[in-house]
Amino acid sequence: MSYNGWTNYETWRVNLEMFDGYDASDCPGIDAHTLGLEFKAIVEATIEGSAPPGFARDYALAFLSDVNWHEIASHYTEI
C-alpha cells in the first residue's frame, strides 16, 4: 500500500516531519544506503532524546520499523 507517492504512511510521515527541505548538497558523494542509515540514527536519537522511557517512546520507536529509509535517502541523493 502506498501513501502520497511513498512506500507507506510511516515513510511519508517521517520524511515530512524530519527531512522535508533537507539539502543533500551538504553531504556530496554520500550514497543512499549510508544516508538512510544516518537518517534512521537521527530519528531514533531524536525520539530517545525527547521522550521519556515508557509506552509512548516504545510505540514511536516501533513506528520506525516500517519506514523505508532507503526510499527517503534516495529521494534526496537523486535530486
pLDDT tens string 20-50: 988 878 777 889 999 999 999 999 999 999 9
Smallest Cα–Cα separation from 58: which of 47, 69, 42? 47
pTM of the model: 0.89
Largest Cα separation within the chain, whole Å, is 39
Q: Does residue 39 contact residue 18 with C-beta atoms inside 8 Å?
A: yes
Q: What is the DSSP letter of 6?
A: B
Strands (DSSP E) found in the chain: none
pLDDT tens string 51-72: 999 999 999 999 999 999 999 9
The rounded distance, in Å, linking the Cα atoms of 29 and 39 is 16
